[in-house]
Amino acid sequence: MNAVPPTTTGRARLTGRVQFVLLALLFFAPFAAAWMLYFYFPNSRPSGTTNYGELVTPPRELPEWTWVGADGQAVGSRSLQGKWLLIQLVEGDCDTACVDRLMLTRQTRTAMAADRERVQRVVLGDEAAGVPALRERHQAEQPDAQWFGSADLAAVRAFFGSQDAEALFLVDPAGNYLMVYPGGKGTQADFKGIQKDLRKLLKLSRLG
């Protein structure tokens, strides 16, 4: 018996299905490939990044620490959520390098212009070293900084994972530790780099 040739309608339907499958493959293949590379072949991920700071992967939620404000009142670290926090740790007295970092964060925040209110500078010192006196010495030049003392500054530094005395730490408005800025690159480079990162983050995020 001779085979019955497919009808024109059947051929059209088959052709349409084949085209649909090919289009679907073309559309989803890049996403599937990227997903496979990211999760199963991490060594194949692109190494180049556009951010200046060092990303914290994965981001870490800020613990609920109790700090002491310059007025002597206890403050929970999570109460600072709602703004982008640029945190500086100060052990003992604030030396020349420490003052330079204070000036850097002040200039960076000022350069954010209308968005500067979304960024909060936090200076965290050793409670035993006398944060109120530290704040009093620098308040005139650093009026927009919030000063706090910690009873265990070593534990805070361990969480941030950097022993660099000049490092700055960026925390998002949801309380996630996102990025670290080590010292040693130069004030001008840090000023441009941190400002660029903040502008990008504030543009992409409605938080803060």
CATH of the domain at 83: 3.40.30.10
The string of pLDDT tens digits covering residues 174-185 is: 999 999 999 999
Domain membership flag for residue 3 = no
Q: Are residues 16 and 98 in the same domain?
A: no
Claim to verify: residue 24 and residue 126 sit in the same structural domain: no
Q: Does residue 69 sit within a domain?
A: yes
**184 falls within a domain:** yes
pLDDT given at position 48: 52
Give me Rg for the CA atoms of the chain.
Answer: 26
Check if the beta carbon of residue 141 is closer than 8 Å to that of residue 60: no
Give the domain extent around 36. Answer: 8-44
Q: How many domains does the chain have?
A: 2
Predicted pLDDT at 14? 57
Longest dimension (CA), the chain: 103
Q: What is the pLDDT of residue 60?
A: 95
Structure tokens at 113: 């212009």
> Are 81 and 162 within one domain?
yes
30 lies in the same domain as 132: no
Helix axes 187-204, 96-111, angle to 10 degrees: 40
Q: Is the pLDDT of residue 42 over 60?
A: no
Instruction: Tell whether 88 is covered by a domain.
Output: yes
Count of helices and strands (H, E) across the chain: 5, 8
Cα–Cα distance measured from residue 160 to residue 122, given in angstroms and rounded to the nearest whole number: 14
- Please tell me whether residues 91 and 110 are part of one structural domain: yes
The answer to whether position 49 is within a domain reads no
Domain annotation covers residue 122? yes
Q: Smallest Cα–Cα separation from 183: which of 200, 199, 198, 166? A: 166
Residue 127 has pLDDT above 90, yes or no: no
